Amino acid sequence: MPMIRVPVCLGDRAYDVMIGSGLLRAEEHWSDLPRASAAVLVTNVTVAPLYAAAVQTQLKNRFAKVHLVTLPDGEHHKTWQTLNLIFDQLLGHECDRKTVLVALGGGVIGDMTGFAAACYMRGVPFVQVPTTLLAQVDSSVGGKTAINHPLGKNMIGAFYQPLRVFCDVDTLQTLPPREVAAGLAEVIKYGPIADAAFLGWLEDHIDDLVALKPDALMHAVRRSCEIKAAVVAADEREGGLRAILNFGHTFGHAIEAGLGFGVWLHGEAVAAGMVMAADLSERLGLMPVGFQVRLSALLQRAGLPVLGPKLPVDEYMQHMRVDKKAEGGDIRFVLIDRIGSAVVRPAPEALVRQTLEACSA
């Protein structure tokens, strides 16, 4: 299976997303990382037994010292306290500003390692090695790094680009079905917001993706990364266009915060959030009736929830008011105005409340 490079064109911060099979064990792809006296590999207790040794082998060919930081697993550990475990190791080993951090794991590990890299000595280089589908198609690309706060998801963070992203699709074979489904939510979002043909391809191949067929996975990861790379290159810091990547996320983040981080996986919350956003798009007259049903059918085939939890509507509204897209007290939603095109705009609160009542159970 050939290796694919997807460039993220950001001038002097440009880098490649490398997609292929066996990348974790292919020395030639690691040999041009910058020289430094040390590398720090950050992973978690679930991923470490599976892949840490292979990545350590590659790093030891390049760095005199390789330190391992193994964090607890789960969204509810995406906190200051856990982030400090990374800083403890960096300071304890007297790591300098050329030290390379390597994030090996899913979105939580990638976000926290990237944020640590952005902060330590005001910025050290880091590499993303995402091992979940969600991280490969979304969170590892684009330089968003963050931790959670009890009042809001990803509210404390920085834009900080990696040196490189290694997407080894072989790592997806060890994912439990629930994690596969969660990743597929982020794959599916790219169709409505940017590529009608890709949405059709997903409807034709969703069963192959659920079954983790390598050719289907390669295409899905590649197309997702191509779309995200193009959006990030046009709007690195989410001044406008990049916000479309948050389709379903305003509702989804409210679900995660309302239930408690980690009760639903991020992709599960985004799936239900996309159905809500589709419903709101129809209520506003942006999309014809039937779009929500079409999207829901695809999400259900992927094994994802299509109704949010029955939280009080006022609680949903409160969590959405602290969403990063909110402006001047107005909640702004990513909505679809035609398949392959998204807009970011506020909506009348009465319609939002109708959507929340109709799309939760």
Any catalytic annotation for residue 149?
A: no
Query: Among candidates 27, 30, 19, which has minimal Cα distance to 163?
Result: 30
What is the per-residue pLDDT across 306-351, written as a single tens digit (0 to 9) for each? 999 999 999 999 999 987 777 777 899 999 999 999 999 999 999 9
The DSSP output letter for 229 is H
Listed in order, the ranges of the chain carrying CATH 1.20.1090.10 are 182-209+236-358
Q: In the predicted model, what is the mean pLDDT of the chain?
A: 96
Any catalytic annotation for residue 219?
A: no
> Which amino acid type is present at position 78?
K
DSSP β-ladder status, 15-20 and 165-168 = parallel
Q: Which of 29, 223, 242, 319 is catalytic?
A: 242
Any catalytic annotation for residue 249?
A: yes
The DSSP output letter for 119 is H
| 193 annotated among ligand-binding-site residues | no
Binning pLDDT at 50, 70 and 90, where does residue 29 land? confident
Contacts of 223 (CB under 8 A, 6+ apart): 190, 195, 198, 201
CATH among 3.30.420.110, 2.60.40.1930, 3.30.450.40, 3.40.50.1970 for 4-174: 3.40.50.1970
pLDDT at 322: 86
Binning pLDDT at 50, 70 and 90, where does residue 46 land? very high
| 94 annotated among ligand-binding-site residues | no
Sheet holding 4-8, edge to edge: 4-8, 15-20, 165-168, 126-130, 100-105, 38-44, 65-71
Any catalytic annotation for residue 93?
A: no
Written as six digits, the tokens of 135 are: 């991280």
Percent of the chain residues topping a pLDDT of 70: 100
Residue 207, number of CB atoms within 10 A of its CB: 11
Question: Please, where are the H alpha helices in 154-213?
Answer: 177-194, 196-210
Range scoring the smallest mean pLDDT among 83-92, 193-202, 224-233, 238-247: 238-247
| 108 annotated among ligand-binding-site residues | yes
Q: Which of 228, 283, 319, 324 is catalytic?
A: 228
pLDDT at 48: 98
Average pLDDT (24-29) is 89
Average pLDDT (16-24) is 96
> What is the spatial distance between Cα 186 and Cα 247, in angstroms, rounded to a whole number?
9
pLDDT for 39 beyond 80 = yes
Binning pLDDT at 50, 70 and 90, where does residue 219 land? very high
Average pLDDT (168-188) is 97
Q: Which of 29, 148, 154, 186 is catalytic?
A: 186
Q: Which of 238, 256, 268, 282 is catalytic?
A: 238
Residue range 182-209+236-358, CATH number: 1.20.1090.10
Average pLDDT (125-154) is 95
Any catalytic annotation for residue 253?
A: yes
Q: Which of 67, 144, 219, 324 is catalytic?
A: 144
Any catalytic annotation for residue 228?
A: yes
> Which amino acid type is present at position 260?
G
pLDDT at 239: 87
pLDDT for 59 beyond 80 = yes
Any catalytic annotation for residue 44?
A: no
pLDDT at 152: 84
Question: Would you say 112 and 42 are in contact if contact means Cβ atoms under 8 Å apart?
Answer: yes
Q: How far apart are the first and last CA of the chain?
A: 44
pLDDT for 272 beyond 90 = yes
| 200 annotated among ligand-binding-site residues | no
Q: What is the dihedral of CA 248, 251, 257, 260, to 10 degrees?
A: -80
Residue 350, number of CB atoms within 10 A of its CB: 9
pLDDT for 141 beyond 80 = yes
What is the per-residue pLDDT across 102-118, written as a single tens digit (0 to 9) for each? 999 999 999 999 999 99
pLDDT at 329: 74
Query: Among candidates 159, 191, 197, 212, which has minimal Cα distance to 299?
Result: 191
DSSP β-ladder status, 341-346 and 332-338 = antiparallel
| 266 annotated among ligand-binding-site residues | yes
> Which amino acid type is present at position 145?
T
SS3 of 3-36: the string is CEEEEECCHHHCEEEEEECCHHHCHHHCCCCCCC
Listed in order, the ranges of the chain carrying CATH 3.40.50.1970 are 4-174
| 79 annotated among ligand-binding-site residues | no
pLDDT at 120: 98
| 77 annotated among ligand-binding-site residues | yes
In sequence order, the β-bridge partners of residue 147 are 156
| 310 annotated among ligand-binding-site residues | no
Residue 248 dihedral angles phi and psi, to the nearest 5°: 85, -10
Q: Which of 67, 266, 283, 332 is catalytic?
A: 266
| 351 annotated among ligand-binding-site residues | no
Residue 110, number of CB atoms within 10 A of its CB: 30
| 290 annotated among ligand-binding-site residues | no
| 205 annotated among ligand-binding-site residues | no
| 131 annotated among ligand-binding-site residues | yes
pLDDT for 151 beyond 90 = no
DSSP β-ladder status, 144-149 and 152-159 = antiparallel
Any catalytic annotation for residue 98?
A: no
> What is the spatial distance between Cα 223 and Cα 214, in angstroms, rounded to a whole number?
14
Q: Which of 253, 283, 319, 332 is catalytic?
A: 253
